[in-house]
């Protein structure tokens, strides 16, 4: 089934691809993965600025970003349960 890709979806997909690429440059995050947030944001600064993803005036874009965030939360919960056994 083909899904039409809207402009906000393409922008968010580019962001998630850049984020995955930035995260893949790390072999490990140690005991405090959140300590790397600023470093990763710095790696993403140009892509973020280029597509103006931080704009709250784009409700469709913000909705797509929220969907990606929720997917990441679900993925985290599932992986935590796998780790827990």
* Consecutive H or E run containing 32: none
User: Over the stretch 47-75, which tens digit does the pLDDT of each residue have?
Assistant: 677 666 666 567 888 888 899 999 999 99
* Residue that has been written with the tokens 């580019």 in this structure: 14
Query: 65 in a domain, yes or no?
Result: yes
Domain residue limits at 67: 58-85
Query: 33 in a domain, yes or no?
Result: no
* Consecutive H or E run containing 67: helix 59-84
Query: 1 in a domain, yes or no?
Result: no
Query: 78 in a domain, yes or no?
Result: yes
Query: 76 in a domain, yes or no?
Result: yes
User: Over the stretch 18-49, which tens digit does the pLDDT of each residue have?
Assistant: 999 999 999 999 999 999 999 999 898 876 77
Query: 48 in a domain, yes or no?
Result: no
Query: 20 in a domain, yes or no?
Result: no
Count up the domains in the chain and report the number.
1
Determine the pLDDT at residue 47. 67
Determine the pLDDT at residue 56. 59
Q: Please, which pLDDT band fits residue 4 given cuts at 50, 70 and 90? A: low
Query: 15 in a domain, yes or no?
Result: no
What is the average pLDDT value for the chain, to the nearest integer? 84
């Amino acid at each position: 089934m083909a899904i039409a890709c809207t402009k906000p979806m393409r922008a968010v997909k580019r962001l998630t691809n850049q984020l995955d690429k930035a995260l893949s440059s790390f072999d490990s995050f140690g005991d405090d993965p959140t300590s790397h947030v600023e470093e990763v944001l710095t790696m993403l600064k140009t892509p973020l600025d280029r597509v103006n993803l931080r704009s709250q005036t784009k409700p469709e874009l913000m909705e797509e970003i929220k969907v990606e965030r929720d997917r990441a939360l679900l993925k985290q919960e599932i992986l935590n349960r796998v780790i827990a056994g």
